Chains A and B, each alone.
Chain A
């Protein structure tokens, strides 16, 4: 919006009731205002109210003055509220209290939040005490007004008010309420004045005015300005101000407040779920501490109210196509819906909900799958203690201490008692569990080096817990039974004395410290819900996702976890049988003399036969040895590379490649694999190299042929991909290596995608050549979407990422 639009005409309307506001006009009414307008228009029982438009804010920001007519319009809307609700602002018999909120078209930091309970003056307080029959409650509302207003509008320390009234120890009984109120007000007022030298106005209209002005001013708060500057959001759009009737869950009976979920957010079960606090105010329920009953229990007393809530929940869920969390209040039997949001849910619930809503047709596959994130999948597939092994350990009394589970996860490691040692031993590659009496800032290095953390002192929100969660490491705090002797280097838990270096295990969810190790495994199989979502994703993406594996066990797990096939490298597979360096030494130093090539062929055949057996006929593409790959580079001695420099070239020794091809072909025969593996050579960039590889492949006997081709790692190679494909039956591209060549400091970016443009189309001209993308590490929607968009349909990823990749590719296809 340009500044020209700000010029107001005498007919500009600044204030709209929720019913009059256009829900589509987020620019004028802000996100919050438009949302309330939509709910109001849909017939939901939202507390009535009105909105001061963003345009009024823009005008205020431009001129420093509230536009003429705003104050009058606000008074008129308040009057309308008074009529509608049969209450009066600032007086009795039933006083009208309102809340004020900011609501910009885009959410941003630094904007003023909610100010509640505006409209409490002496007259209103006396009337409210009368109406509720609960003078303590009115004093509490007074306290909350002072606390909220002084913190948000005046920048005071909210605790100042709480402390002052606690010291006052004032109760309403034993004196006329008006007198109690005056003393209470004076006490709050003094506390705020002492703190910031200003006070909450006693006049209800001045309170309302002050709150509205604070919202408008917050538009130009330092944090909001920084945010807009950085996100290229215009300073001219302004924020709306939403003013709404306060409803009371403690006014008469039946009254109360609660939060409802349209489905169970923990399990995903399809049933209205939530709680109700009879006689409670919304804040009490949200803040916790009180002891609410379940909705099911409450519904037995007042079924009509909860029938209505259930009906509303059902309609809302249908309209939003999502599970919702509904904040509601019942005032004298009338239900009000205060807020509706997309419900937060556990990863388990997210998957069940998506599958259920897909099955009953409530969501299309694209929308259902959109409700499940990569993090959800990683969570349900996370490594955890083997159940039987854990039960056995428990039965043997392995649990030596129980504290507060501050950060979830289950790990086994060796005990370490100070941070310096954790750093030393962690650098040596050990899985460590760091135990400390308490944590100090200098433990940060140790916390970073350790796999998990245990502390004797501290609560669920201690510094240690904050750090552990930020690092996503399991953490148990407040193990009162644990004491640590730093000089003897022992940890004592009850009667057990553990030494540094002993094996221990911790469960950061349950808060348990166990002595000894517990086997950790990953859940491989998908439940029916996850399988359904995966099927739909695959159908949409048309993609095949392979997993990078090295051992037969890994291959079996990868297939259980939904990989369509696997990729493997000869260097890695030979490394697991301990043969890699031997046979390379032999070939490198003796060349084709003395049976070195036969050794190589047989070593490859021996190593690959069990892997091919495990595959049961599904696809495998194999990369030939590359001594310059990261994996082989760590194992192959530098002296050998210097003695046999040709090994470092892609086809430096054709005999070596012959032996690898021969070995793989032999493994196919020995294993009864029954299909044709691919074999690619890394760092190929010239079509002549690809031709040599093809010819070497053609030397294999008829019936023992492999699909041979190239593995591209450089921009130069990718630019010649079409020519390379002419000579290749299979081609893989290492996307990360490509990015490293383009710009090593960044995640995969536009320049790399640009380089890959047109590569996928090569398949049309050369249908005999399959083209795959190797994506090491974590797969994200942000990486999958452009690659899918470029037309790639074959991917290889780490085994843990198979389902994540399938889901991400499905989402990419629906985009």
Chain B
């Protein structure tokens, strides 16, 4: 598998299904190059197509795992990598809690959906989330020293947070958008696969 094939397949597996246009946007690659790579992946039976959608086959994930083991061998043996992973999981736990606080408010021990009528509360939660995302970006930055593709997560986080700050609050956790939670969810899986760690939940 070539380097570009790995990057493209990685996103296809993370997304489960996506359009080539979206792949090009996410990877900041020209669409023609993505089309070409997707065709190559198709010939090797790593992806299938359903209309405009590209989907991974059962062979896709094992192929990624094998490539990552090879490509990130030195990263994995780096003493720093365990620390990065631990730090990620710690921030992950806090960020999940922050998302829960965004969605639900504790009322005398009962969880009630946040109706977003309290601006101060919401600002506090967003500020907390933004801080935690800054810390995730630092991890992406450290990984970026080994492989610059991780830096893309930082850019995606910034774009999502900018939208949140402009008042498009759904960019915090909406599953249908390029939201903070979606980016971080993908980053999480990507990081685990790259470092050869198992998902805990």
Q: Does B107 contact A223, Cβ atoms closer than 8 Å?
A: no
One of A245-253, A463-471, A690-698, A747-755 contacting the partner:
A463-471
Q: A373-B115, A442-B15 are in contact. Are A461 and B99 (CB under 8 A)?
A: yes
Tell me which of B30-38, B67-75, B140-148, B180-188 binds A: B180-188
Does B123 have its Cβ within 8 Å of any Cβ on chain A?
Answer: yes
Which residues of the partner chain B approach A230 to less than 8 Å between Cβ atoms?
Answer: 165-167
Interface residues of B in 92-138 (CB under 8 A from A): 93, 96-97, 99-100, 103-113, 115, 117-120, 123-124, 126-127, 130-131, 134-135
Q: Does B8 contact A (CB under 8 A)?
A: no
For B185, what are the chain A residues with a Cβ–Cβ distance below 8 Å? 440-441, 444, 463
- Which A residues lie within 8 Å of B199 (CB)? 438, 440
Whether, in the assembled complex, B173 has its beta carbon less than 8 Å from a beta carbon of chain A, the answer is yes
Asked if B96 and A466 make an inter-chain contact with CB atoms under 8 angstroms apart, the answer reads yes
- Which residues from B are CB-within-8-Å of A448? 175-176
Q: In chain A between 360 and 419, which residues have their CB closer than 8 angstroms to a CB of chain B?
A: 373, 375, 379, 408, 419
Q: Provide the residues of chain A in CB contact with B126, threshold 8 Å.
A: 109
Q: Which residues of A contact B56 (CB under 8 A)?
A: 442
Which residues from 250 to 308 on chain A have a C-beta closer than 8 Å to any C-beta of chain B?
261, 264-266, 273
Chain B residues whose CB sits within 8 angstroms of the CB of A231 once the complex forms? 167
Is A373 within 8 A of B120, CB to CB?
A: no
Residues of B contacting A799 in the complex (Cβ-Cβ under 8 angstroms): none
Check if B107 sits within 8 Å of A441, measured CB to CB: no
A346 and B16: CB pair below 8 A? no
User: Could you say which residues of chain B place their CB within 8 Å of the CB of A264?
Assistant: 108
The CA of A115 and the CA of B13, in the complex, are separated in Å by 43
Check if B123 sits within 8 Å of A109, measured CB to CB. yes
In the complex formed, the residue of B with least CB distance to A110 is: B127
Bound-state Cα–Cα, A349 to B34, Å: 55
- Chain A: CB-nearest residue to B183: A441
Whether the pair B13, A442 counts as a contact (CB closer than 8 A) is: yes
Residues on A with C-beta less than 8 A from B96 are 461-463, 465-466
Query: Contact: B108 with A463, CB < 8 Å?
Result: no
Query: Quick check: is A345 within 8 A (CB to CB) of the other chain?
Result: yes
Whether the pair B15, A461 counts as a contact (CB closer than 8 A) is: no
State the CA gap A581–B95 with chains docked (Å). 55
Mark each residue of chain A from 135 to 177: 1 if its CB lies under 8 Å from any CB of chain B, else 0: 0000000000000000100010101000000000000000000
Q: Judge if B27 is at the interface, Cβ distance under 8 Å.
A: no
CA distance A408 to B110 in the complex (A): 11
Query: Which A residues are in CB contact (< 8 Å) with B162?
Result: 226
- Given A265-B108, A461-B96, verify A109-B130 contact (CB < 8 Å): yes
Q: In whole angstroms, how far apart are the Cα atoms of A463 and B184 in the complex?
A: 10
Nearest CB of B to A371, in Å: 10
Interface string of A342-363 (1 = CB under 8 A from B): 1111110100000000000000
Given the known interface contacts A442-B16, A466-B100, the answer about A261 and B108 at a Cβ–Cβ threshold of 8 Å is: yes
Whether A462 and B201, one on each chain, are in contact in the complex, defined by CB atoms closer than 8 angstroms, is yes
Q: B3 at the A/B interface (Cβ < 8 Å)?
A: no
Q: Which of A223, A420, A439, A460 has the most CB of B within 10 A?
A: A223
Residue in A closest to B117 when the chains form the complex, CB atoms: A373
Give every chain B residue within 8 A of A318 (Cβ-Cβ): none
**Does any Cβ of A come within 8 Å of B23's Cβ?**
no
Nearest-neighbour CB distance to chain A for B56, whole angstroms, equals 8
Given known A113-B127, A159-B90, contact A345–B189 (CB-CB < 8 A)? no
Is B113's CB under 8 angstroms from A375's CB? yes
Contact B165 A447 (CB under 8 A): no
Collect the chain B residues with CB atoms within 8 Å of residue A766's CB: none
Tell yes or no: A610 within 8 A of B by CB. Answer: no
> Which partner residue on chain A sits nearest B199 by CB separation?
A438
Contact partner, A266, options B100, B109, B120, B189, Cβ 8 Å: B109
Q: Chain B 1-40 against A: per-residue CB contact (8 Å), 1 yes, 0 no?
A: 0000000000001111100000000000000000000000
Tell me the residues in window 107-149 of chain A with beta carbons closer than 8 Å to chain B beta carbons: 107-111, 113
The reply on A445 being an interface residue by CB < 8 A is: yes
Chain B residues with CB under 8 Å of A107's CB are 119-120, 123
Within 8 A of B (CB), among A291-344: 341-344
Q: Which of B127, B134, B162, B189 has the most CB of A within 10 A?
A: B127
Across the interface, which residues of A come within 8 angstroms of B176, CB to CB?
448
| Contact call B127/A109, Cβ cutoff below 8 A | yes
Interface residues on A, range: 35 or more
State whether A457 touches B165 (Cβ < 8 A).
no
**Does A814 make an interface contact (CB < 8 A)?**
no
Which single member of B103, B109, B115, B189 contacts A466 (CB below 8 Å)? B103
Within 8 A of A (CB), among B153-201: 161-162, 164-167, 173-176, 181-182, 185-186, 188-189, 199-201
B13 to chain A, nearest CB (A): 7
Known contacts A107-B119, A230-B166, A461-B96; is-contact A470 B103 (Cβ 8 Å): yes
Q: How far is the CA of A373 from the CA of B96 in the complex (A)?
A: 28
Q: With the chains together, A444 CA to B185 CA distance in Å?
A: 10
Say whether, besides A345-B107, A441-B182, A463 and B100 are in contact (CB < 8 Å).
no
Measured between alpha carbons, how far is A462 from B184 in the docked complex, in Å? 12
In this assembly, does A22 line the interface, its C-beta being within 8 Å of a C-beta of chain B?
no
CB distance from A338 to the nearest CB of B (A): 15
Complex formed: what's the CA distance from A157 to B14 in Å? 28
Q: Which of B90, B107, B166 contacts A344 (CB 8 A)?
A: B107
Q: Which of A223, A344, A346, A440 lies in contact with B165, CB distance below 8 A? A: A223
Q: How far is the CB of B154 from chain A (nearest CB, A)?
A: 14
CB atoms of B130 and A346 under 8 A apart? no
Considering the chains assembled together, what is the distance between the CA atoms of A349 and B105 in angstroms?
14
Q: Are B201 and A458 in contact (CB under 8 A)?
A: yes
Q: Is B175 within 8 A of A470, CB to CB?
A: yes
**Residue A19 CB within 8 A of the other chain:** no
Q: Answer whether residue A552 sits at the interface, using C-beta atoms and an 8 A cutoff.
A: no
Identity of the chain B residue whose Cβ is nearest the Cβ of A466 in the assembled complex:
B99
Residues of B within 8 A of A77 (CB): none
A109 CA to B119 CA in the complex, in Å? 10
Taking a contact as CB atoms under 8 Å apart, the answer to whether B112 and A346 are in contact is yes
Whether the Cβ atoms of B107 and A444 lie closer than 8 Å is no
Does A443 sit at the interface, judged by CB under 8 A? yes
Chain B residues with CB under 8 A of A159:
87, 90
Decide yes or no whether A791 CB sits under 8 A from chain B.
no
Could you say which residues of chain B place their CB within 8 Å of the CB of A463? 96, 181, 185, 188, 201
Known A266-B107, A266-B108, A346-B112; contact A445-B166, beta-carbon cutoff 8 A:
no
Chain B residue at minimum C-beta to C-beta distance from A230: B166
Q: Indicate whether A459 reaches chain B with its CB closer than 8 angstroms.
A: yes
Rounded to whole angstroms, the CA-CA distance of A458 and B113 in the bound complex is: 20
B181 touching A466 by the CB < 8 A rule? yes
Bound together, the chains give a CA A379 to CA B166 distance in angstroms of 29
Q: Do the beta carbons of A223 and B161 come within 8 Å of each other?
A: yes
Within 8 Å CB of B97, what residues of A?
A: 461
Residue contact A346 to B99, C-beta cutoff 8 Å: no
* Contact call B188/A266, Cβ cutoff below 8 A: no
Q: State the Cβ distance, B84 to closest chain A Cβ, in Å.
A: 12
CA distance A379 to B162 in the complex (A): 32
Contacts of A266 on B, CB cut-off 8 Å?
107-110
Partner of A470, one of B15, B17, B174: B174
The reply to whether B130 and A223 form a contact with Cβ atoms under 8 Å apart is: yes
The CA-CA distance from A771 to B27 in the complex, in Å, is 55
**B124, B164, B165 — most chain A CB neighbours (10 Å):** B165
**A467 contacts across to B, CB distance below 8 A:** 173, 175, 181
A226–B201 CB distance below 8 A = no
Interchain CB contact under 8 A, B16 and A470? no
Known: A266-B110, A341-B118. 6 other contacts (CB 8 A): A265-B107, A343-B107, A344-B112, A440-B189, A463-B96, A470-B175
Q: Footprint of B on A, CB under 8 Å?
A: 107-111, 113, 151, 155, 157, 159, 223, 226-227, 230-231, 261, 264-266, 273, 341-347, 349, 373, 375, 379, 408, 419-420, 423, 438-448, 455, 457-467, 469-472
What are 13 A-B contacts with C-beta separation under 8 Å? A223-B161, A226-B165, A227-B167, A230-B167, A273-B108, A344-B118, A346-B112, A419-B16, A441-B14, A442-B17, A461-B96, A461-B99, A472-B113
List the 5 closest pairs (A to B, CB-CB), nearest first: A442-B16, A458-B201, A461-B96, A469-B103, A230-B166
